[in-house]
Amino acid sequence: MKKLQLILAMIKFEHTIFALPFAYLGMVLAANGLPDFYTFFWITAAMVGARSYAMAMNRLADRTIDSKNPRTRHWPLSQGAVTVLETGVFVICSVLLFVISAFMLPSLCHKLWPLVLIPMTIYPFMKRFTWTSHLVLGCCLGLAPLGAWVAVTNALPPAGIAALGLAVGMWTAGFDIIYSCQDYGFDLQEGLHSIPVRFGLGPALVVTRCLHAAAVLLLALVGMSFSLGPIFYAGILLIAVFLWYENRIVSPTDLSRVTVSFFTLNGFVSICAFVCTFIAIIFKR
């Protein structure tokens, strides 16, 4: 049990909160409210399995890099508190949970589940080759609302849900750029790739602002696509404020509040998006 606790801490299991609300957002849009409990349960299980797989794979792939990085060298796998074998078993269990969940959902999920795992599997290796790794991570999280739509409807997502997935992807890529600024010096020294390394800290944060602005505009497009009304747009306005503040408190010369920007504010963004959408759907009925 202690080993499992260490692995869950290592993959920041509690931050599943970033991904689940956007999956649920796709779910409630597809169901025009709440689906049956069976569908809700297996969507949740699939999300937990997929995210746990992605995070544990990332730690396995980066274990040598993490052991050198002053920010990550204390993590359980870097210190030997958990082994490669133990983490590998967790990876297998996580992917099994995801695949089983997919097969408990409608038939289209049985065919499309490999497409979800591909970006999650390649993402941990991307920073060795290209600064576009942030966009791949955005793709990973952006698939959440699309997958939830398929799980409810057994049909491919319409344009409105595709816009939602793109908004989530841009939001994710933006906050990942902010997070990677912490490792700018280390990545530069080790020959690793990121947008901060490629373009510098200042331009990287400008890219983040552009991505977050685009995400807000795409969320507005989602509202128009589903006629969600003023409550949804009030939520978008609140999200825009959160994102503005997230970018405001981080600068090339002061990265001390990256933790607040990354963890606290992004939790607010995802929860706000779901709650406002759900309330808007209820009032629209």
The Cα angle at residue 205 between residues 185 and 124, in degrees rounded to 5: 60
For 243, counting Cβ atoms within 10 Å of its Cβ (0-12 exposed, 13-18 middle, 19+ buried), the class is: buried
The DSSP code sequence of 89-115 is: HHHHHHHHHHHHHHHHS-HHHHHHHHH
State both tokens at 271.
């929860």
Q: 130: helix, coil or strand?
A: coil
Cα 108 from Cα 99, distance rounded (Å): 13
For residue 81, report the phi and psi dihedrals to the nearest 5 degrees: -70, -30
251 forms beta bridges with: 254
Exposure of 226 in the CB half-sphere (CA atoms within 13 A): 34
Q: What is the pLDDT of residue 263?
A: 67
State both tokens at 132.
């576009």
Output the CA–CA distances (angstroms, integers) from residue 281 to 24, 119, 157, in the order listed.
13, 31, 18
pTM, two decimal places: 0.92
Helices then strands, counting H and E runs in the chain, come out as 15, 0
> Given pLDDT bands bounded at 50, 70 and 90, which one contains residue 80?
confident
pLDDT higher at 77 or 136: 136
CATH code, 112? 1.10.357.140
How confident is the model over 256-270, as pLDDT tens digits? 777 766 667 787 888
254 forms beta bridges with: 251
Q: What is the pLDDT of residue 86?
A: 87
Q: Check the CA dihedral 160-240-134-20 and report its sign.
A: negative
* Region class of 254: left (phi > 0), else alpha (psi between -120 and 50), else beta: beta
State both tokens at 278.
């759900």
Question: Using an 8 Å Cβ cutoff, are 77 and 91 in contact?
Answer: no
Q: 226: helix, coil or strand?
A: coil
Q: What is the pLDDT of residue 110?
A: 95
How confident is the model over 42-64, as pLDDT tens digits? 999 999 999 989 988 999 999 88
What mean pLDDT is predicted for residues 94-121?
A: 95
Range of the domain at 240: 2-284
Q: What is the pLDDT of residue 111?
A: 94
Quickly tell me which residue has 């808007």 as its tokens.
Answer: 280
**What's the number of domains the chain is made of?**
1
